[in-house]
Amino acid sequence: MFLDLFIHFLMLSLLATGGAITLAPEMHRYMVTETGLLTDVNFTASLAIAQSAPGPNILFVTVLGWQAMGPMGALATTVGIMTPSAALTLVVNRVAHHHGDTLWMRALRQGLAPVVIALMLATAWILSEQWWGELSVLAVVLVSAVLVAVTRVPPLVMILLGALIGGFGLLG
């Protein structure tokens, strides 16, 4: 199972346009639906813990691996997700350095923007499915989104407030 987990995350890394978080729906499908390594609740909790912890956003991949298979799972997911993207980053950096102002490079950047947005929306959809029937949760999400969009309240403040609300059991 270690090798399967490693190879799956290795392949996912090549699709991680906009960061690994955009692949959360596919990770969910693989780890919850296909292999049963995690439950829906474990997956969501792992993602929430990793995203609220200090450090890089990619930490959630390590937490998923740890929850699924302990230290070996953490190693499989982390090395799997990091290796191809690190190698690809080195190559793309060299190409972008030499061709950064060309028309095709600008077109590539503009073309990838909607893909990244769609992947982020898919992630939000998957992570919110279990809360759709909770009007109080929907209200908190809407208020948070409006505050971040129309004020200068940093998203990190909203995440902290959400953690406090959840931690004190004020919702659901």
Has residue 166 been placed in a domain?
no
Has residue 112 been placed in a domain?
no
Pull the structure tokens for residue 76.
Answer: 């499989």
Nearest to 48 by CA among 78, 75, 71, 21: 21
Half-sphere exposure of 108 (CA within 13 A, CB side): 11
- The domain containing residue 70 runs over which residues? 2-100
pLDDT given for residue 129 in this prediction: 81
pLDDT in tens for each of the 172 residues of the chain?
Answer: 899 999 999 998 887 766 778 888 999 999 999 999 999 999 998 888 887 777 777 888 999 999 999 999 999 999 999 998 788 778 988 988 888 789 988 898 889 889 888 888 888 788 778 777 778 878 887 888 888 889 888 888 888 888 888 888 877 6
Nearest to 51 by CA among 18, 27, 89, 21: 21
CB 7 within 8 A of CB 80: yes
Has residue 167 been placed in a domain?
no
Has residue 130 been placed in a domain?
no
Has residue 81 been placed in a domain?
yes
pLDDT given for residue 143 in this prediction: 85
Has residue 151 been placed in a domain?
no
Query: How many domains, the chain?
Result: 1
Has residue 52 been placed in a domain?
yes
The count of residues in the chain is 172
Has residue 128 been placed in a domain?
no
pLDDT given for residue 172 in this prediction: 62
pLDDT given for residue 30 in this prediction: 95
The answer to whether the pTM exceeds 0.75 is no
Q: Determine the Cα–Cα distance for residues 154 and 120; give it in Å rounded to an integer.
A: 19
